[in-house]
Amino acid sequence: MHEPVKEGLEDFLRENGSPEFAAHLEVCRECRGEVERMRELALALRVLRADKEMDPPTGFYARVAARIEAQSGPSFWSVFLEPAFGRRLMYASATLVVLLGTYLISSESSEPLAVSTTAEQYLVEENPAMGANPQQDRDVVLVGLATYNE
Amino acid sequence: MAFREIVERYQAKVYSIIFGILRNRNDAEDIAQQVFAKVYFSMGNFDFRSSLLTWIYKITVNECYDYLRKKRVRKLVYESDFSEEESLLMQNSEAAMDHRPAVDTQLAQRDFVLKLLAKVSEEDRNLMLLKEVEGHSVDELARMTGMNENTIKVKLFRARQKLLKAAQRLSRLPGAAPA
């Protein structure tokens, strides 16, 4: 197709185009044929045009909102509302409480031993003679307490 | 603009575009809902280079073609369930139907036009539909798409040429209605 036709085609298809365009079509058989086919094609496409603008049935927005809701992924918090997950969470929490309780009880009963062990070690270091005679050991501890200054 | 406002402003337009293409009210309602759901979920992708209507129009036409493609696949799957003899029988009866005068020439023409538009790119298809079906002028298209008028003219010209070539190829196939 020749340049003047390429440039003026849209105007021609809309409102018959310029006199130059028409003059070129008069003399150019090739362009005339192609322009005619393009005009037919443009008319054929109009079969897809709705006769008039139509509104969807009432309540359309509500249905769109429901579809959006259905297509939205579940939120993070909704996991906690699932019964199966909630039950598992409850069991896991109970197990954790039992484990923590056991640990605390066992660590509480062993702690005084550790303290006494440390106190014993301290007294032995301060008084190398300790441990030989229980009576003497008691006296050493009592003297230590009586002479203790903060 | 609230989403509800967008739906209320464009619902008639979207519904009419879909009905114009598919000519079925139930399908039009279903696809229109899907269009607005897509608009809602991909609002972040709208780049404001084109108008909101052009963007929604593009989604609408794509959804229609998606629906037509799925429908064709469903038909193929359905046909694949038949035995070889049954398929042959069906092909023969369809060929016989193709040679009888069209019961509804407008329906046949619509089918042909839809097949034709499926052969070109999404951009060409949307431009041609906006121009010929919606009746927008070149300068309106330039404003709607954010391109200049000359670019629109060139794109339209090329799209028309591609469609003509596709029409020639399709017309050679048996059962194709002329444009």
Q: From CA A41, how far away is CA B163, in angstroms rounded?
A: 8
Q: Does B177 have pLDDT greater than 70?
A: no
C-beta separation of B57 from B130 below 8 A: yes
Q: Does the distance separating the beta carbons of B8 and A64 come in below 8 Å? A: no
Average pLDDT of A23-33?
A: 87
Statement to judge: residues A44 and A87 lie in one domain: no
Shared domain for A44 and A89, answered yes or no, is: no
When comparing pLDDT for A45 and A135, which is higher?
A: A45
Domains and CATH numbers, chain B: 1-81 (1.10.1740.10), 105-179 (1.10.10.10)
A10–B110 CB contact, under 8 Å: no
Inform me whether the pLDDT recorded for A35 exceeds 70: yes
Tell me the pLDDT tens digit for each residue of B125-174: 999 999 999 999 999 999 999 999 999 999 999 999 999 999 988 877 65
Residue B154 backbone phi and psi in degrees, to 5: -65, -45
Q: What is the pLDDT of residues A101-137, one digit of tens each?
A: 999 888 776 555 555 556 666 666 777 776 777 777 7
Residues of A in contact with B41 (CB under 8 A): 68, 71
Distance CA B177, CA B34 (A): 31
In a domain, A23, yes or no: yes
Q: What share of chain A is helix, strand, coil (3-state, %, to 5)?
A: 80, 0, 20
Residue of A nearest to B8 (CA): A61
C-alpha distances (whole Å) from A1 to each of A20, A33, B165 are: 15, 10, 14
CB–CB contact A68 B37 (8 Å):
yes
Return the exposure string of B4-42: e unless at least 16 CB atoms fall within 10 Å of the residue's CB, then b. Answer: eebbeebbbbbbbbbbbbbeeeebbbbbbbbbbbbbbee
pLDDT at position A148 over 70:
no
A5: contact with B, CB 8 A cutoff: no
The beta-carbon neighbor of B37 closest among A38, A60, A67 is A67
Residue A24: per-residue pLDDT: 86
Give dist(CA A91, CA A86) in Å, integer: 9
Q: How far apart are CA A10 and CA A12, in angstroms?
A: 5
From chain B, pick out residues whose CB is under 8 angstroms from the CB of A57. 29
A104 domain residue, yes or no:
yes
Mean of all residue pLDDT scores within chain A: 80
Closest Cα in chain A, distance from residue B82 (Å): 33
Q: Residue A92 falls within a domain, yes or no?
A: yes
Looking at residue A61, what is its pLDDT? 96
* CB proximity under 8 Å: A 120-149 to B: none
Which residues form the domain of A26? Answer: 1-48
Residue B89: the pLDDT is 62
Of B7, B12, B164, nearest to A61 by CB-CB distance is: B7
Helices (runs of H) and strands (runs of E) counted in chain B: 8, 0
In angstroms, the separation between the Cα of residue A63 and the nearest Cα of chain B is 7
Cα B141 to Cα B135: distance, rounded to the nearest angstrom: 10
Mean pLDDT, chain B, rounded, equals: 85
Query: Could you tell me if B89 and B47 are in contact, meaning their C-beta atoms sit under 8 angstroms apart?
Result: no
Which band of pLDDT confidence, cut at 50, 70 and 90, is reported for residue B94? low
Does B179 score more than 50 pLDDT? no
Nearest by CB to B36, which of A45, A47, A64? A64
Asked if residue A14 is part of any domain, the answer here is yes
Name which residue leads in pLDDT, B63 or A4: B63
A43, closest residue in chain B (CA to CA) = B132
* pLDDT single digits (tens) A71-89: 987 666 666 666 777 788 8
pLDDT at residue B148, rounded to an integer:
93
What's the structural domain count of chain A?
2
Average pLDDT over residues B49-73: 92
Other residues' Cβ atoms within 10 Å of the Cβ of residue B164? 17
In a domain? residue A128: yes
